[in-house]
A and B are shown apart, each in its own frame.
Chain A
Amino acid sequence: MDYFVELFVGGLTRGSIYALIALGYTMVYGIIELINFAHGEIYMIGAFTALIVATVLAMSGMSGISVLVLAFLVAVLYSACHGFTVEKIAYKPLRGASRLSPLISAIGMSIFLQNYVMLAQTSDFLPFPNLLPELPFMEPYAHIMGSTEFIIVATTAVVMILLTILIKFTRIGKAMRATAQDRNMAMLVGVNVNRIISMTFIIGSSLAAVGGVLIASHIGRINFYIGFIAGIKAFTAAVLGGIGSIPGAVLGSLVLGWTESFATGYVSSDYEDVFAFALLVLILIFRPSGLLGRSTTQKV
C-alpha cells in the first residue's frame, strides 16, 4: 500500500509537470488550431533565464525568497516576450496559409530556438540551483513527497483554477472564447483578434516559464535540449486529454504521469514510454477527440 501511494504521488508530480507545459499547447490550439511545437523551447528559455538571474543575484549576495521571486518574474517576462515574438514572426504571416505551413514553421522555430540557446550558452548540462525552499517533511511522509514536489503540484492546481476563472468570468476570457468559436465573427463584433491571439501566446509562454523554473529546480540540471522531450510529453498529454480543452490538458497530463509511474513501478522502467504511447493510441482509437475533447464546438 505504501508503495502504491509513493507511485501515486510520483505520478501526480510528474503529471503536474506535464500539465504546466500542456496548458500552453492546448490554449494555442484552442484559439488558432495550431500546434505550437516551439512551446517546449519557451519552457527551456524560461529555465535558462531563471538560472542566469539566480546566478547574477547570488553573485551580488542576495539569497532566499527574493531571488526566487525575481527569477520567476524575469523568467516569465522574458519567456512571454519570446512567445509574443515567435507568434508575430513565425505564425502571423502564415495565418491565411494551409494548415501545414504554420506547423512546419513551428518546427523550424523550435530548432532555431534550441540552437540559439546552445550557441549563446553551452551544450553542456548546467547545474540549476534549488530555488524552492526545502522544508523537510516528517519521516513517515518524507520519502513519499518532498517540499519541491508539493510546490509543483500546488502550483499546477492554482494555475488551473486561475486560468479557468480568467476564461469563464473576465472580458478577455469572453473574447478568447469568441475568437476560438469563430474568428471572423468575433472580428465583426469588434474583438481585436490579433490582440487576443498575442494574449494567448503570452499567457501560455508565462505558464511554460513557471513550469521551467519549477522543473529545473526539481531535477537540478538543464541544457538546451530539455524543452524537446518535455514538449513532446506535454503535447502527448494535451492530445490525450483532448487538445483545446483546459481541464482536458490537466487530466491528460495526470493520466500520462500515473501511467508512466505505475508502469515503471509495477512492470519495468524499460517500458515507461511504451505504456505511455500505447495508452495514447488506445484512447485515440476509442475517443478520437481525447478524454475531454469535444468534436469542434467550444474549444477553449
Chain B
Amino acid sequence: MMKRFLLGVSALCLVFALAGPAPAAETIKIGVAGAHSGDLASYGLPTVKAVELVVNDINARGGVLGRKIELLIEDDVCKPEVATNTATKLVSRKADVVIGHICSGATKTALGIYKDAKLIAVSPSATNPELTQSGRYPNFFRTIASDDAQAKLGVEFAVNRLKVTKIAVLHDKGDYGKGFAEFARKFIEDGKKARVVLFEGVTPGAVDYSAVVNKIRQSGAEAVIYGGYHPEASSIVAQMRKKNMKTLFISDDGVKDDTFIKVAGKYAEGVYASGPKDTKKNPLAIAAIAAHKKAYNSDPGAFFLEGYAAALAVVNAIQKAKSTEYNALVKALRTNYVNTPVGKIRFDNRGDAIGVGFAMYEVKKGTYVEVR
C-alpha cells in the first residue's frame, strides 16, 4: 500500500517536472478574462476565440519582439465576486496585459486589483460610462463605445447638424431609456447652444400619447430626443405626425430596428436614430469573420469584432512600446492608431477608443440610411 502511494507521488512529481517552467525565452502572457461559462458565456466566448485567432496568427509569424505569446484564459462567470479571484489569479500568474473583462460590474471589481498591480485591461464589451469617465481607472481601455456616447452623438447631431435650439427630451422611465435621456439632457445643458424645454417620462404601453404630444407642441420644441424602445417611439411619432407636427425625432439604438419602420409605417420617414457603426464592409472585419468560419465552422457571436480589435490593439502597442512595461504600454495605446475590424482606432486619455462608436441613421423610403 505504502509503496503504491509513493509510486503515485513520484509519478506526480515527474509530471510536474515535465510540465515545469518553460525555458527562458520568456513568452508574453496575455490574460483573457470574462464569462466563459454560465448563462452569459455567449458574451465571453467569442472574445476568447477572437484573441486565439489573432495570437495564433502572430505566433505563426514568429511572435512579437521575438517572443511568442501565451494566453492565460480565466473565467469570471460575469460575477463581480468571482472576478476578484480571476483578477488575483492573473496577477499572480504574471500576465503582462489583460483582455477583458466582459461585463461592466465584473470589470469594475477586477480593475482595482489590476491597478495596484500596474496591469492594463482592454475590454471589448464593458460599456458602463463610469469606467472611463470617473478617472479612477487609468489602466482601463475599451474597444466599444460607452453608453453615453450615443446620447452625445444624438445631441451633437441635433445641435450642430440640424441646428435646433429647443429640445424636448423624453424617455420610457426604464434603466436604458432614462439613462440615455439623462445623458442627453446633461450634454445639451453643458453645450449651451440649445436648451431643454421638456424632460419627461412616458408610460410604456399606454393606450394614447396625445397628452404628451400636446405638451411637446406647447413647449415649442423643434426636436424630440427620445430614450427607449421602438413600440412607444412609433406611437409618439405617429401621433405627432397625425397632428401635423413637423418636430424632428431623434432616438437611440432601441429604435434603430426594422420593426420600428414596419410598425410606424409612413410616419417613420425622416426619423433619426443612432446605432453602432456598420463595420460589415471593413476588409479586416470580413477577414476576421472568415477566419472564424474556417477555424470553428460557425459565425462569430457577440463582441467578436471588438475582442479581435482589442487583441490587435494590445499586440500593436507591445510592438510599438518595444516592451510590456506599464507606462510604455499606456503611452503606446494612447498615441498609435491601429487598423482593426471596428475601424482605425487609438485610445483617448480616459481609455475610450477614438474611431469606434455610433453613427446616425435616418429613415428614408422605409430603410435606415446612414447620415453622412
A→B interface (CB under 8 Å): 3, 6-7, 10-11, 13-14, 17-18, 124-127, 139, 142-143, 146, 148-149, 215, 218-221, 223, 225-226, 229-230, 233, 260-262, 264-265, 268-270, 272-273
* In contact, A269 and B203 (Cβ under 8 angstroms): yes
Partner of A269, one of B215, B259, B263: B215
Chain A proximity mask over B189-214: 1 for CB below 8 Å, otherwise 0 = 00000000000111101111011101
Residues of B within 8 A of A233 (CB): 207
Q: Which of B211, B212, B214, B217 has the most CB of A within 10 A?
A: B211
Partner of B207, one of A14, A148, A270: A14
**With A3-B214, A10-B214, A221-B231 in contact, is A126–B263 under 8 Å at CB?**
yes
The complex places the Cα of A219 from the Cα of B231 at a distance, in Å, of 10
Q: Which residue of B lies closest to A228 (CB)?
A: B205
Query: Which of B32-40, B102-110, B234-242, B319-327 contacts the other chain?
Result: B234-242
Residues of A within 8 A of B217 (CB): 6, 143
* In contact, B244 and A270 (Cβ under 8 angstroms): no
B134 within 8 A of A: no
The complex places the Cα of A23 from the Cα of B215 at a distance, in Å, of 30
Q: Distance in Å from the Cβ of A209 to the closest Cβ of chain B?
A: 16
Chain A proximity mask over B127-165: 1 for CB below 8 Å, otherwise 0 = 000000000000000000000000000000000000000
* In contact, A143 and B212 (Cβ under 8 angstroms): no
B262 within 8 A of A: yes
* In contact, B205 and A229 (Cβ under 8 angstroms): yes
Partner of B215, one of A143, A221, A264: A264
Chain A proximity mask over B221-253: 1 for CB below 8 Å, otherwise 0 = 000000000110011001000111100000000
Residues of A within 8 A of B202 (CB): 269
Q: Is the interface of A mostly helix, strand, loop or mixed?
A: helix
Residues of B within 8 A of A143 (CB): 217, 243-245
Chain A proximity mask over B20-47: 1 for CB below 8 Å, otherwise 0 = 0000000000000000000000000000
The complex places the Cα of A8 from the Cα of B363 at a distance, in Å, of 33
Residues of A within 8 A of B264 (CB): 127, 220
Q: Which residue of B lies closest to A221 (CB)?
A: B263
B265 within 8 A of A: yes
* In contact, B210 and A268 (Cβ under 8 angstroms): no
**Which residues of chain B in 253-291 are interfacial with respect to chain A, using CB atoms and an 8 Å cutoff?**
259, 262-265, 267
Known: A219-B235, A264-B215, A265-B214. 6 other contacts (CB 8 A): A3-B218, A6-B214, A127-B263, A265-B215, A269-B200, A269-B202
* In contact, B243 and A261 (Cβ under 8 angstroms): no
Residues of A within 8 A of B211 (CB): 7, 10-11, 14, 260-262, 264-265, 269, 272
Residues of B within 8 A of A229 (CB): 205-207
* In contact, B235 and A220 (Cβ under 8 angstroms): yes
Range of interface residues on B (Cβ < 8 Å): 20 to 34
Residues of A within 8 A of B201 (CB): 268-270
* In contact, A272 and B206 (Cβ under 8 angstroms): yes
The complex places the Cα of A7 from the Cα of B211 at a distance, in Å, of 6
* In contact, A142 and B210 (Cβ under 8 angstroms): no
27 A-B pairs in the complex with CB atoms less than 8 angstroms apart = A6-B217, A10-B211, A10-B214, A14-B207, A14-B208, A18-B207, A125-B234, A142-B243, A143-B243, A215-B207, A218-B208, A219-B208, A219-B235, A220-B264, A221-B231, A225-B205, A226-B205, A229-B207, A233-B207, A261-B210, A261-B211, A269-B201, A269-B202, A269-B211, A269-B215, A272-B206, A273-B203
* In contact, A127 and B265 (Cβ under 8 angstroms): yes
B118 within 8 A of A: no
The complex places the Cα of A13 from the Cα of B215 at a distance, in Å, of 16
B292 within 8 A of A: no
* In contact, A124 and B234 (Cβ under 8 angstroms): no
* In contact, B207 and A230 (Cβ under 8 angstroms): yes
B173 within 8 A of A: yes
Q: Which residue of B lies closest to A6 (CB)?
A: B214
Q: Distance in Å from the Cβ of A144 to the closest Cβ of chain B?
A: 8
The complex places the Cα of A261 from the Cα of B212 at a distance, in Å, of 8
Residues of A within 8 A of B230 (CB): 125
Residues of B within 8 A of A269 (CB): 200-203, 211-212, 215
Residues of B within 8 A of A226 (CB): 205
The complex places the Cα of A270 from the Cα of B171 at a distance, in Å, of 10
Q: Distance in Å from the Cβ of A273 to the closest Cβ of chain B?
A: 6
Q: Distance in Å from the Cβ of B60 to the closest Cβ of chain A?
A: 46
The complex places the Cα of A5 from the Cα of B221 at a distance, in Å, of 20
* In contact, A142 and B244 (Cβ under 8 angstroms): yes
Residues of B within 8 A of A264 (CB): 211-212, 215
Residues of B within 8 A of A148 (CB): 242
* In contact, A17 and B207 (Cβ under 8 angstroms): yes
Partner of B263, one of A11, A17, A220: A220
